[in-house]
Chains A and B, each alone.
Chain A
Amino acid sequence: MSEEKYLLEVEHLKQYFPVAQGFKKIPLKAVDDVSFKIRPGETLGLVGESGCGKTTVGRTLLRLYQPTGGKITFDGDVLYDSENKIDKDMLPYRKKMQMVFQDPYSSLNPRMTVEDIIGEPLDVHKLYSNKAQRREKILHLMELVGLNAEHAMRYAHEFSGGQRQRIGIARALAVDPTFIVCDEPVSALDVSIQAQVVNMFEELQEKLGVAYLFIAHDLLVVHHISDRIAVMYLGHIVEIADADELNNNPMHPYTLSLLSAVPIPDPETARNSKRIILEGDVPSPLHMPSGCPFRTRCRYATEKCAEVNPELTDRGDGHLVACHNR
């Protein structure tokens, strides 16, 4: 088991943002001690409520933020290790690690043509030897994501949401990455368009073997697209398991509530299931509770939960749970 090769290994990753409170700065713990691994060609879904730190995880992995601590290993290379003071130059790895964003409207420059949007990363990394080759690559990428070649000279603002998302992913694919952080890529799309884009992500993975960290708040979409799912709460990962296992056998008290809250598009199931209502709101990441981050809303909390933060432990077959009492 330990021989298994991972594409990405994240250990004890921390991302604190200094926030002014009166005269002093206190750390906002957006990501606090997060560990997970992703295999080549695999999709790890990342779910949790807004503000729990999903985007920050993605951006920190791509080093759009300088991490506060922890260790990131990609394809066998240690890119960052706070303990051993390793902090590699990211430029060569930018080709391998890419990101797709939620809002296809704001993440693409509306005044650029599709050809230039997709061509830009090719230019940056000098991935062609002449104009004809550049164009050929762009057309190939457009075909991959299901865009019509005739659209190459059109401007981004002329496209619908679903098509812009295709442009965004073609651009990410231009450098031939092995890993893409997909940050809520279908959340802004209409239901009837969502399926097209979800399918495109799945097909590209089959064709190109690229791995995804797929962030979304729609748990059914995440379940559909992911091999495994990680559940985040207040900067921590509280549970990781195979997608089906997590849905059939959720263990962490937060995951139980989260899954029971998902409105299932099936009246019979809806009638027979009971929502486990969580009282109150998520605490502020500026004032993390002591011990377990979930204890202020947890039905199973005991004294120990206020004292010791539970570690992720394996409950069999890679089903990891961070809870003292479940």
Chain B
Amino acid sequence: MANENEVQNENDYNFLLEVDDLHTSFFTENGEVRAVNGISFKLEPGKTLGIVGESGSGKSVTAYSIMQILAETGKIVKGSVTFRGEDITNWNEKKLQEFRGSKVSIIFQDPMTSLNPVFTVGFQLEEAVRLHTGKSKEEAKKRAIEMLTLVGVNEPESRVKQYPHELSGGMRQRVMIAMALACEPDILIADEPTTALDVTIQAQILELMQELQKKMGMSIIMVTHDLGVIASMCDEILVMYGGRICERGTADEIFYHPCHEYTKGLLRSIPKQDNMGEKLVPIGGTPINLLNMPKGCAFCPRCENAMKICLTEQPDEYWVGDNHLASCFMNMKDLVENREGRQ
């Protein structure tokens, strides 16, 4: 329904990355876990796209699908990921290796996922540079120190000789960012990059990411469950629930005119400056079980306003404002009630 009035962009190269109807599943003993269930979005150069949702909603799997670094049991079962006009889901491993790091980089919540404990910081940075650029050892060394300076690591000349465990958490995060950005990728995917950090360190890292984006011009995909981080970092936001996108729009649209019952619920449930004296309004029910998905809207079992149709049909994306789409029948309430009334 929504696709009818979706504006086709004249020039697709306005988008760096296009994810179209992506389905990613894990094949486990208990059956097929449909972690990502048909999501589509486009990423503009130099912009920050936020992906928000509670744990298990499929944010990381989306990120890993783009990078194609899924666990062995995981597979993209349908859909495409198009980078600068090329579908990368059928690229071979060699091409993908080039792609990772030099075109798209990812950083994680735990820097030790990317850093090897037995090598010095400098060695790892140099390797990353050499792998993607064919620079000489000397040049790579220079670049490593340059990058450490860029990400605000003090005394970079002596830091390169240190091992990851000799650095503080915030420092490690900076080193990981330096590694991710060493080859000036077009896209930086950040999967909960500050979730394990204290707020003042988090502020340092977020500030750093914004600064680097200004300098280097890369796009950022910011994956987090933290609505505060999303609000302060993102141009555009995807809200995920149960492996689907339930709402998308600009930060202002999502925060000031939420149009999906789940987004509304999330915003009511968190403490904000303006609800300090009031009771929080929790989202009822229990988090989703992907092995036992409802037939209709994924959020239906927890939704207070669910209608009959929500039980049986999956809502399309409806335009609810400028650059703002929501997959919730509530936006068609009059239509739906009319129809249900007639039945």
Contact = CB atoms under 8 A, between A and B. Distances in A.
A264 B202 CA distance: 13
B206 interface: yes
Given A192-B283, A258-B199, A266-B273, A281 B54 contact: no
B283 A195 contact: yes
Interface in B168-218: 168, 170-171, 198-204, 206-207
A81 interface: no
B279 A199 contact: yes
Contact of A192 (B170, B228, B269, B272): B269
B273 A269 contact: yes
A281 B168 contact: yes
Contacts of A243: 276
B226 interface: yes
A277 B207 CA distance: 8
A265 B228 contact: yes
A196 B170 CA distance: 32
A221 interface: yes
A194 interface: yes
Contacts of B272: 220, 264-266
B28 to A, nearest CB: 20
Contacts of B265: 192
Contacts of A264: 228, 231-232, 272-273
A217 B226 CA distance: 14
B70 interface: no
Contacts of B204: 277-278
Majority secondary structure, B binding face: helix
Contacts of B199: 49, 217, 219, 258, 261-263
Contacts of A20: none
A198 interface: yes
A263 B198 contact: no
Interface residues of A, number: 40
A258 B281 CA distance: 27
A260 interface: yes
B228 A190 contact: no
A243 B271 CA distance: 13
Contacts of A198: 271, 280
B55 interface: yes
B225 A266 contact: no
Contacts of A220: 228, 270-272
Interface size bracket, B side: 35 or more
Given A191-B269, A195-B280, A265 B231 contact: yes
Contacts of B304: none
Given A190-B287, A217-B198, A223 B271 contact: yes
Contacts of A199: 279-280, 282
A200 B227 CA distance: 22
A275 B199 CA distance: 11
Nearest to B265: A192
Majority secondary structure, A binding face: helix
B228 A275 contact: no
Contacts of B223: none
Contacts of B281: 195
B202 A261 contact: yes
A171 B199 CA distance: 31
Contact of B200 (A190, A192, A194, A258): A258
Contacts of B207: 275, 277
B223 to A, nearest CB: 14
B266 A191 contact: yes
Contact of B229 (A190, A263, A266): A263
A54 to B, nearest CB: 12
B336 interface: no
A208 interface: no
A92 B54 CA distance: 43
Given A191-B270, A264-B273, A257 B200 contact: yes
B252 interface: yes
A22 interface: no
Interface in B253-267: 255-256, 265-267
Contacts of A160: 286-287
A308 interface: no
A202 B279 contact: yes
Interface hub of B200, B251, B270, B283 (most chain A Cβ within 10 A):
B200
Nearest to A271: B232
Nearest to A200: B282
A86 interface: no
A316 interface: no
Contacts of B168: 281
A224 B279 CA distance: 9
A314 to B, nearest CB: 24
A243 B277 CA distance: 11
A268 interface: yes
A270 interface: yes
Contacts of B266: 191-192
22 contacts: A49-B201, A190-B55, A191-B54, A192-B283, A193-B287, A195-B281, A198-B280, A202-B279, A217-B198, A217-B199, A224-B271, A243-B276, A262-B228, A264-B228, A265-B228, A265-B231, A265-B272, A267-B256, A275-B206, A277-B200, A278-B204, A281-B171
Q: Which 6 A-B pairs have the closest CB atoms?
A: A263-B228, A261-B203, A270-B232, A195-B282, A224-B271, A195-B269
Given A191-B270, A202-B279, 14 more contacts: A190-B55, A191-B227, A192-B266, A192-B287, A195-B280, A220-B270, A223-B276, A244-B276, A247-B273, A260-B203, A264-B232, A267-B232, A278-B204, A281-B170
Interface of A: 49-50, 160, 190-196, 198-199, 202, 217, 219-221, 223-224, 243-244, 247, 257-258, 260-270, 275, 277-278, 280-281
